[in-house]
Amino acid sequence: MNKKYAICFNPEMTNSVEVKEDLSKILDKHSLEYKVLDIEAMTPGFDFVFVIGGDGTILKAARFYSDFDTPVLGINLGRLGFLSQTTPANLDSTICKILNGEYKLEHRMMLSGGGYSALNDFAIKGSSAGRTSRFALQINGKLVCEYLADGIIISTPTGSTAYGMAAGGPVLSPDMEAIAIVPICPHTFSARPIVVSAKDEIKIVPCPNNEYTVAVDGQFVFNLTGDLVITKSEKKAILALLIENDFYSVLRNKLHWGVSPAKI
């Protein structure tokens, strides 16, 4: 049976329409069945989805298609493009690799909390700008500590190279089953990021006289009015990765990790 493909693009991004047209021509050349979708109007029913945009666009598509076990492959139009696998300049060769099976599928762990799913992270912050807040952290019903900080990030391994890393958290291999907990600008030297099992239940308990907001993958924001319980989601996002793009090569090429300084 022939596979059904989709091209999902973000029309608000520069050059996205042009790249969508170029990709459509390539799929037509290979006589493939496909449908073009706006990122704000995604639908199920496909075997493989090409996503044109930045990491935010890919996150949104990956979360949506996790409900249908559909793999997504990112074509980068953003700056870093950590989740993407190719660029507009390499579309022809990328499609050939996909059709020849020169790719792998990674099932990425997600988190669930407050009625939302996150592929990257939940970021809890005090809603009053310019002041710190207290955050009580419980794991499996046991008090771990209270943070006096600007916020706290609860991150998946995929999200460990995003906001969590920028806040000084650890980089986790994406195939791990673990959760990183990273305080943002803590007001004590003893507050350090920790990594716990994906089986653990994490609870953020509001402290009196504090107000909080929660950002999910940096895209959904809601006010925290009670305890926030975060656990491993039953769903997994499926990312299609080109064989040559292993995790550590992406760290070196996009984040310049472990690269010696250039000679003067």
For residue 96, what is the enclosing H or E element? helix 91-99
- Do residues 7 and 50 lie in contact, with contact meaning Cβ atoms separated by under 8 Å? yes
**Catalytic pick from 47, 55, 67, 227?**
55
Q: How many helices (H) and strands (E) does the chain have?
A: 5, 16
Question: ∠ CA 82-108-5 to the nearest 5 degrees?
Answer: 80
Q: How far is CA 183 from each of CA 119, 187, 191, 230, rounded to the nearest angstrom?
A: 19, 10, 7, 16
SS3 for 165-212 is HHCCCCCCCCCCCEEEEEEECCCCCCCCCEEEECCCCEEEEECCCCCE
SS3 of 215, please? Answer: strand
Distance CA 52, CA 81 (A): 11
Is 55 known to be catalytic? yes
SS3 for 115-166 is CEEECCEEEEEECCCCCCEEEEEEECCEEEEEEEECEEEEECCHHHHCHHHH
- Do residues 93 and 230 lie in contact, with contact meaning Cβ atoms separated by under 8 Å? no
Q: How far is CA 66 from each of CA 112, 120, 159, rounded to the nearest angstrom?
A: 13, 14, 16
Q: Which residues are catalytic?
A: 55
